C-alpha cells in the first residue's frame, strides 16, 4: 500500500510540471511587441508581398529580423518568408556599325582566307588596314574583316558585352541577291573560331516589294574581330554591317539610408556612432557640414583583443572595413563630394570612424541598405498587423515554398503589395513588453512552485504518518 501511495504522489507531481511550463510561457501577440504597423491587403489576393518598411529596421531587436511577425485580427501569427524580389535585368539589343575591311585575292581562293594576311592595327588594337601579301589587278573580293571595338566605344556600349548577331545592308541599287556565308571570330586576329553559317537572301519582285534574310544570328558571345567568308554565291561589299550587342541592365534597386550622429570614441580621435542592429549596411559615407573638408579615415568596429601582457586583459582594437578619403569642396563654383563606399553586408550596433588627421568637425555617418521583401499568406481574419521590437524570441519566418508554392520568379515579382499604415509605438521601451511578461511569468512560476513544494511536503508527511500506522499495526501480536 505504501508503494502504491508513493507512485500516486510522484504521478501528481509530474503531471503538475507541464502546467507550470504552460503558465510560465508568455503569450505571443501584437501587444508583446514595442511597435506595430497596420497592413492593408486586397481582399482577392491570397499571397501578397511587402517591402520591409524602414521602421522595422530602425526598431527591430534582431540582426536577422527574428522578432518580425504578421498577425491577423484574432492575434494568430501568419507564415511569411523573407526574400530578395529584385526586378529581373532588362535585356535589350543595341546595334552599332562595325568597321569593315574588304580582303581581295584570286577568284580561286574564294571561300578560304590567306594565312599571311597583312593586318595593321593601332595602339589600341583598332584595325587600320587588311591587305593580301600580293594583289593583282584581277583579284576579287574574297572576304570581309570586321573590327567591332571602335564603333562600340562611340555608341557607349560595353566592349565586353556579348554580340548576338550581325545585320547586313546591300549596296544602293542592288537587286535580288543570295549567298551562303561563314562567320569566324577572334580576339587577337591570329586565332579564329568558326561561330556560325547562314543563308542570306534579298528577293525583289516587279512591283518593288522585297523580302529579305539579312541577318547572321548566333548564340551571344563576346569577341573583338569577325570575318565573313563566302561558301556559296558571289562575294559583295555590303554598304554597312551592324553588330547587335546584347545589353543587360539591372533595374535600379530601392536603397534606404540613415545618417547617424557621432560621439567621442574610446581612443584618441575616434568617433562612435550608435546604429540599429537590424540594419544590413551595404554602403557608408560621411556627411559634412563644412564647405571644404578632406578627411582620410578608417571605418569599422571595435573588437576585444586579449593582451598577452597586462595579465591577459582585453583591449578594444579597431577592425577596419574601409580605409579611404572622404571629402566635400567647392572648386570653380562647383561642388565636389565623395560618394558612398560599398562594403560587405554588415550588422553592427556601433560604428567607429577613426580620422587620420586632426578634424575640425564631427561628420555624420550615412549607412545605406537594401530592404528585403516579405511574402506572406493573407489567411486568418483581416485586418492584419506587422509587429516587431522584442528580444529573445524565435524567428517566425519559413521557407518561400511554404507560403508561395509553385510561384515562378515572374509571379513573385508581380505580387500585389500590402500597404503599411502609420507606425504605432506601444511602449516607451521595446523591452517593456518583455519585462512585463517576464515579471508576470516569474511571479506565476514562483507561486506555482511554492504550491507544488508545499503539496509534496504535505503528501510526504501524510505518507510517513500512514506508514508508521501500518508498521505499528503489523508489530501488534495476533489475538
142-156, 258-272, 358-372, range with the lowest pLDDT: 142-156
Q: Residue 91: its pLDDT value, please?
A: 80
Asked whether residue 360 falls in the same domain as residue 233, the answer is no
Q: Report the distance separating Cα 249 and Cα 87, nearest Å.
A: 11
pLDDT tens digits for range 195-244: 999 999 998 777 767 788 999 999 999 998 899 999 999 899 999 999 99
Q: Residue 432: its pLDDT value, please?
A: 47
Rounded (to 5) percent helix, strand, coil in the chain: 20, 40, 40
Average pLDDT over every residue of 25-54: 88
Is 60 exceeded by the pLDDT of residue 132? Answer: no
Please indicate, yes or no, if residue 196 is contained in any of the structural domains: yes
Q: Report the distance separating Cα 417 and Cα 340, nearest Å.
A: 30
Please indicate, yes or no, if residue 408 is contained in any of the structural domains: yes
Asked whether residue 339 falls in the same domain as residue 198, the answer is no
Determine how many CB atoms are found less than 10 A away from the CB of residue 54.
16
Q: Residue 166: its pLDDT value, please?
A: 94
Asked whether residue 149 falls in the same domain as residue 198, the answer is yes
The candidate with the shortest Cα–Cα distance to 127, out of 113, 102, 146, is 146
Q: How many domains does the chain have?
A: 3
Asked whether residue 126 falls in the same domain as residue 98, the answer is yes
19-28, 291-300, 322-331, 370-379, range with the lowest pLDDT: 19-28
Is 60 exceeded by the pLDDT of residue 52? Answer: yes
Asked whether residue 266 falls in the same domain as residue 243, the answer is no
Residue 233, CA atoms < 13 Å, CB-side half-sphere? 19
Please indicate, yes or no, if residue 109 is contained in any of the structural domains: yes
Helix (H), strand (E) at residue 465: helix 431-475
Confidence of residue 173 (pLDDT cuts 50, 70, 90): confident
47-61, 91-105, 258-272, 336-350, range with the lowest pLDDT: 91-105
CATH of the domain at 309: 2.60.120
Please indicate, yes or no, if residue 316 is contained in any of the structural domains: yes
Q: Residue 205: its pLDDT value, please?
A: 77
Please indicate, yes or no, if residue 16 is contained in any of the structural domains: no
φ/ψ bin of 389: left (φ > 0), alpha (ψ from -120 to 50), beta (otherwise): left
Q: Report the percentage of the chain scoring pLDDT > 90.
A: 44
Confidence of residue 476 (pLDDT cuts 50, 70, 90): low
Domain stops at, among 323, 341, 369 = 369
Is 50 exceeded by the pLDDT of residue 25? Answer: no
pLDDT averaged over every residue in the chain: 81
Q: Which strands sit side by side in the sheet containing 99-105, from one edge to the other? A: 99-105, 140-147, 225-232, 177-186, 193-204, 210-213
Is 60 exceeded by the pLDDT of residue 14? Answer: no
Contact between 37 and 421 (Cβ < 8 Å): yes
Please indicate, yes or no, if residue 469 is contained in any of the structural domains: no
Which residues lie closer than 8 Å to 104 by C-beta, 6 or more apart? 132, 135, 139, 140, 141, 142
Contact between 56 and 68 (Cβ < 8 Å): yes
Q: Residue 156: its pLDDT value, please?
A: 76
Which residues lie closer than 8 Å to 77 by C-beta, 6 or more apart? 28, 69, 70, 71, 396
Asked whether residue 158 falls in the same domain as residue 268, the answer is no
Domain stops at, among 227, 249, 271 = 249
Is 70 exceeded by the pLDDT of residue 441? Answer: no
Q: Residue 138: its pLDDT value, please?
A: 62
Domain extent for 359: 256-369
Asked whether residue 297 falls in the same domain as residue 327, the answer is yes
Highest mean pLDDT among 154-168, 413-427, 456-470: 413-427
CATH of the domain at 165: 2.60.120.260
Is 90 exceeded by the pLDDT of residue 4? Answer: no
pLDDT tens digits for range 325-345: 999 999 888 889 999 999 999
Confidence of residue 18 (pLDDT cuts 50, 70, 90): very low
CA-based angle 57:59:64, to the nearest 5? 50
Asked whether residue 58 falls in the same domain as residue 166, the answer is no
Asked whether residue 406 falls in the same domain as residue 348, the answer is no
pLDDT tens digits for range 410-437: 888 889 999 999 999 986 444 444 554 4
Q: Residue 220: its pLDDT value, please?
A: 92
Highest mean pLDDT among 108-117, 359-368, 421-430: 359-368
Pairing of strands 35-40, 419-420: antiparallel
Which residues lie closer than 8 Å to 353 by C-beta, 6 or more apart? 262, 265, 270, 271, 273, 286, 297, 298, 299, 363, 365
Is 80 exceeded by the pLDDT of residue 65? Answer: yes
Q: Which residues pair with 225 in a beta bridge?
A: 147, 186
Q: Report the percentage of the chain scoring pLDDT > 70.
A: 76
Q: Residue 17: its pLDDT value, please?
A: 40
- Strands (DSSP E) contained in 332-450 are 334-337, 341-346, 350-355, 364-369, 373-377, 384-388, 419-420, 424-425
52-66, 130-144, 395-409, range with the lowest pLDDT: 130-144
Asked whether residue 107 falls in the same domain as residue 243, the answer is yes
More confident residue, 470 or 313: 313
Asked whether residue 239 falls in the same domain as residue 116, the answer is yes
71-75, 252-256, 368-372, range with the lowest pLDDT: 252-256
The candidate with the shortest Cα–Cα distance to 254, out of 369, 175, 160, is 369
Please indicate, yes or no, if residue 446 is contained in any of the structural domains: no
Is 80 exceeded by the pLDDT of residue 7? Answer: no
Asked whether residue 293 falls in the same domain as residue 358, the answer is yes
Confidence of residue 127 (pLDDT cuts 50, 70, 90): low
More confident residue, 158 or 298: 298
Q: Residue 333: its pLDDT value, please?
A: 85
Is 80 exceeded by the pLDDT of residue 274? Answer: yes
More confident residue, 6 or 70: 70
Q: Which strands sit side by side in the sheet containing 364-369, from one edge to the other? A: 256-260, 364-369, 281-287, 341-346
Please indicate, yes or no, if residue 334 is contained in any of the structural domains: yes
Domain stops at, among 348, 369, 390 = 369
Average pLDDT over every residue of 126-152: 71
Q: Residue 361: its pLDDT value, please?
A: 87
Q: Residue 366: its pLDDT value, please?
A: 96
The candidate with the shortest Cα–Cα distance to 381, out of 77, 1, 17, is 77
Q: Residue 447: its pLDDT value, please?
A: 63
Contact between 299 and 284 (Cβ < 8 Å): yes
Amino acid at each position: 500500500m505504501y508503494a502504491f501511495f508513493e507512485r500516486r504522489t510522484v504521478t501528481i507531481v509530474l503531471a503538475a510540471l507541464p502546467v507550470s511550463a504552460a503558465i510560465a510561457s508568455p503569450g505571443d501577440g501584437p501587444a508583446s511587441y514595442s511597435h506595430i504597423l497596420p497592413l492593408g491587403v486586397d481582399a482577392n489576393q491570397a499571397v501578397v508581398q511587402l517591402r520591409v518598411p524602414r521602421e522595422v529596421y530602425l526598431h527591430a531587436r534582431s540582426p536577422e529580423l527574428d522578432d518580425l511577425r504578421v498577425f491577423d485580427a484574432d492575434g494568430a501569427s501568419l507564415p511569411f518568408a523573407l526574400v530578395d524580389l529584385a526586378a529581373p535585368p532588362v535585356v535589350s539589343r543595341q546595334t552599332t556599325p562595325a568597321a569593315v575591311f574588304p580582303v581581295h585575292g584570286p577568284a580561286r581562293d574564294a571561300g578560304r582566307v590567306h594565312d599571311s594576311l597583312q593586318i595593321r592595327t593601332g595602339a589600341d588594337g583598332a584595325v587600320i588596314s587588311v591587305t593580301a601579301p600580293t594583289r593583282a589587278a584581277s583579284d576579287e573580293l574574297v572576304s570581309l574583316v570586321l573590327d567591332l571595338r571602335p564603333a562600340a566605344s562611340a555608341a557607349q556600349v560595353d566592349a565586353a558585352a556579348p554580340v548576338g548577331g550581325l545585320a547586313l545592308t546591300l549596296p544602293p541599287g542592288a537587286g535580288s541577291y543570295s549567298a551562303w556565308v561563314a562567320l569566324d571570330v577572334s580576339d587577337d586576329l591570329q586565332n579564329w573560331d568558326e561561330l556560325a553559317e547562314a543563308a542570306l537572301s534579298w528577293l525583289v519582285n516587279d512591283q518593288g516589294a522585297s523580302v529579305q534574310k539579312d541577318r547572321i544570328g548566333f548564340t551571344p558571345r563576346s569577341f573583338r574581330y569577325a570575318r565573313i567568308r563566302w561558301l556559296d554565291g558571289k562575294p559583295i561589299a555590303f554598304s554597312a554591317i551592324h553588330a547587335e550587342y546584347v545589353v543587360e541592365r539591372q533595374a535600379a534597386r530601392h536603397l534606404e539610408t540613415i545618417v547617424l550622429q557621432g560621439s567621442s570614441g574610446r581612443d584618441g580621435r575616434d568617433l562612435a556612432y550608435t546604429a540599429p542592429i537590424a540594419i544590413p549596411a551595404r554602403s557608408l559615407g560621411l556627411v559634412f557640414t563644412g564647405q571644404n573638408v578632406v578627411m582620410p579615415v578608417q571605418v569599422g568596429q571595435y573588437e576585444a583583443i586579449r593582451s598577452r601582457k597586462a595579465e591577459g586583459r582585453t583591449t578594444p582594437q579597431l577592425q577596419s572595413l574601409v580605409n579611404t578619403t572622404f571629402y566635400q569642396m567647392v572648386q570653380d563654383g562647383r561642388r565636389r563630394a565623395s560618394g558612398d563606399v560599398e562594403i560587405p553586408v554588415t550588422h553592427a550596433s556601433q560604428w567607429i570612424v577613426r580620422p587620420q588627421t586632426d578634424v575640425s568637425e564631427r561628420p555624420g555617418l550615412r549607412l545605406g541598405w537594401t530592404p528585403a521583401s516579405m511574402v506572406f499568406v493573407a489567411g486568418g481574419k483581416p485586418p492584419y498587423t506587422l509587429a516587431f521590437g522584442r528580444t529573445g524570441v524565435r524567428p517566425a519566418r519559413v521557407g518561400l515554398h511554404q507560403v508561395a508554392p509553385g510561384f515562378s520568379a515572374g509571379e513573385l515579382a508581380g505580387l500585389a503589395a500590402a500597404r503599411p499604415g502609420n507606425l504605432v509605438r506601444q511602449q516607451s521601451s521595446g523591452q517593456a513588453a518583455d519585462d512585463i511578461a517576464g515579471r508576470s511569468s516569474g511571479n506565476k512560476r514562483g507561486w506555482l512552485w511554492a504550491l507544488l513544494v508545499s503539496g509534496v511536503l504535505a503528501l510526504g508527511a501524510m505518507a510517513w504518518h500512514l506508514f508508521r500506522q501500518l508498521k505499528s499495526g503489523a508489530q501488534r501480536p495476533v489475538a
